[in-house]
Structures are given as structure tokens and as C-alpha cells.
Amino acid sequence: MLDIAFGTIVMRPYVFTFFVVFLLLCVPHVGWRKTFTFTVAAYLIAFLSEKLSISTGFPYGWYYYLDTTSHRELWVWGVPFFDSLSYVFLTYCSYTTALFILSPLATRGFDLITLETRAIRHSWAALILGAFLQTFLDIIIDPVALQGDRWFLGQIYSYHESGLHFGVPITNYAGWLLTSFLLVAAFQQIDRRGEEKAPYEIFAIPFRSLLGPILYLSVLIFNWVISLWIGEYLVALTGIFIFTLPILMVIILAVSRVNRYREEELREHLKDYPWSLLNRFKE
């Protein structure tokens, strides 16, 4: 068991690196209790969606795992542990990127701060945008993962029938959208709990508003690099073309919105989250 636990981390260092970064970002954002609760809930939702799909074809379509590494890394009921764990940090970085897009922006010194409010964090807009952002991540990830035998992932899964998008069926992305809705909704529901209590485990860190989007971009860049490394230039270029316009739009709109918030937006932000860095600068 110790060998398998050790192998689970050693074989997938990139997954656990992203996961550790998620913990370092999420704990100061919502607290360790909510982070732990979300991690467990998201893992279970992701695992059940994968187990259901390999058994029934819903929600991702028919696919199967190739049991080639269960003697070297942790598998849970026919599903690699790391695979379901990936959903946790993918959901968080997609959700926080949605918050960055939806929230007013303020600068204090060199820091950029999102004026998040409870209304924004728990809104339908954040739910829908976060779910689509996560699904679009999979549009980049899955064609690369399907070529796992050509890089250090290994060939761990395959589809019963080759799909239209570089071998990935469209049903996979429909399933990801549905699951992403559930995952972001779970985060929002967990975030609502205990808001009346003093958040002693929550603290403001510099540039926190940018760190979620940076994690999102890091996942994209990692997969583009792997695509180029294995010679899948069309996969890489297609992914880059898909995201070039959205990334430029987010950057341009963010620059145009900096420090153009209304006073009532600032008051609502400080009322909902008095531990904001803006209060520190105000003092």
C-alpha cells in the first residue's frame, strides 16, 4: 500500500503539483474547512460520473480504462485516483476565472483585487461561465490525454468508437458540461455555509485575484506544450486558436474596467468580505 501511495504521486507529479497549488489558493480564499469539504465533494462527484459513464455510457459516452498501472498507482473501483482528483483543481481555477471576469476590479499599489460579493460568487452567471470555462479546458486536455501512450501519462483509457474531435466524441464534452455544472454548483453551495461566522482561517494574499486565472492558463499551457512535444501540431494550434480571442478579450476588458467600479460595489464587497486587502489599504 505504501508503494502504491508513493507511486500515485511519483507517476503523476504534474497532477499533484496543480492540486497543491489549488490548496494554496483555495484555503486563503474560502478557508480550510470549505476547501476540504469541496475537495471531498468534488472528488466524489467526478468519480461517480466516471464510474457511471464506463458502466452505462452516461454522461461522457462509452469509454473504458486500461488497467495497466493499478499495481503501481492507486485505482478506486476501476478508476485511476488521479483522474477524478484533477476535477477538483480544474473546477476551482475555472470558477475563480469566472469571478475575475464578472467582478469589478480595483488596484491598490501593484495589486489587482476583484471586488467579489456574495451575490457574484453565488450567481447563475458565475455558475454558467465557470462550467463552460471548465468544459473548454477539457476540449484542450482530452485530445492530449487520449495520446497518453506517446508521453508520460501512459495509455490509460480509450473510447469504444473514435470521435469527431481528434478521436474524442462530442458526447464527452456534453458530459463535461453537465458535470461541471454540478461541480461549480457544489462549490457555490459549500461557500454559502457558515458565512455568518468569523472567517479566522481566511486571509488576504497579494495578487490572489490573478492566481486562479494563472492556474487556468498553466493547465492550458501544459497541455499545449505536451501536444507540441509529441508532434500533434494541429491539436496544439487548434487549442491555441480557440483560446486566443477569449484571452485577449478578458485582458482588454479587465484593463478597461480597472478602478471603474461604483462606490456601492466597493461598499458591498467590503461588507461581504471585510478581510479584503482593500480594508487593509483603507486603514
Tens of pLDDT along 97-119?
A: 999 999 999 998 888 999 999 99
User: What is the model's pLDDT at position 283?
Assistant: 46
pLDDT band at 217 (very low <50, low <70, confident <90, very high): very high
pLDDT band at 18 (very low <50, low <70, confident <90, very high): very high
Q: Is the model's pLDDT at 30 over the cut of 70?
A: yes
Q: Is the model's pLDDT at 249 over the cut of 50?
A: yes
Q: Is the model's pLDDT at 221 over the cut of 50?
A: yes
Are 26 and 35 contacting, i.e. CB atoms less than 8 angstroms apart? yes
Q: Is the model's pLDDT at 198 over the cut of 50?
A: no
User: What is the model's pLDDT at position 242?
Assistant: 95
User: What is the model's pLDDT at position 145?
Assistant: 95
Q: Is the model's pLDDT at 5 over the cut of 90?
A: no
User: What is the model's pLDDT at position 205?
Assistant: 79
Q: How many distinct structural domains can be found in the chain?
A: 1
User: Which pTM value belongs to this model?
Assistant: 0.94
- Between residues 110 and 172, which one has the greater pLDDT? 172
pLDDT in tens, 112-169: 999 999 999 999 999 999 999 999 999 999 999 999 999 988 889 999 999 999 999 9
Residue 258: domain span = 2-282
